[in-house]
Amino acid sequence: MIRGTCATGCAGNLFDRTPFALDKAVEWSSREPEFEKRAAFALMASAAVHRKDLPDAAFASLLPVIRAQPIDERNYVKKAVSWAPRQIGKRSSGLNSRAVRTAEQIERIDSRAARWVARDALRELRSDAVQARLRKS
């Protein structure tokens, strides 16, 4: 596994375009090393933006994985965990609703990191700008 911030760059500019991207994101999401875990969620976020060829169902299947991992207090991980549902929720109105529900579930977890992840995601997913863009599409 690539170490450091290069992991995020490779996830967002190379790995997200591979046929195994989402499988690797799920696999890496349960790893303990900070940048391996961050790469998992950065890969989910980047694939949500770049992989227009994948159906919404592929990204909906990632939401339970995200819901299972929001308690990591490490800043790089916490930010990436928040980034993933925000990007997934901007793909379509259906995914937006599901990502909002996921963030609401995360917000109820008794963890400072989980509450931060949820509030960060909800702020963007519910924003007027995101909602207006989704109504147009």
Q: What is the pLDDT of residues 74-128, one digit of tens each?
A: 999 999 999 999 999 999 999 999 999 999 999 999 999 999 999 999 999 999 9
Q: Tell me the average pLDDT of the chain.
A: 91
Q: Rounded distance, CA 21 to CA 27, Å? A: 10
CATH number of 5-136: 1.25.10.10
30: pLDDT strictly greater than 60: yes
69-77 average pLDDT score: 94
**What pLDDT shows up at residue 121?**
98
Cα-flanking dihedrals φ and ψ of residue 30, to 5°?
Answer: -100, 5
**What pLDDT shows up at residue 4?**
52
**What pLDDT shows up at residue 1?**
47
pTM of the model: 0.90
- Please state which of the ranges 16-20, 43-47, 114-118 shows the lowest mean pLDDT: 16-20
58-70 average pLDDT score: 96
16 pLDDT band, cuts 50/70/90, is confident
Cα-flanking dihedrals φ and ψ of residue 93, to 5°?
Answer: -65, -35
**Contact between residue 41 and residue 48 where contact means Cβ atoms under 8 Å apart:** no
Cα Rg of the chain (Å, integer): 14
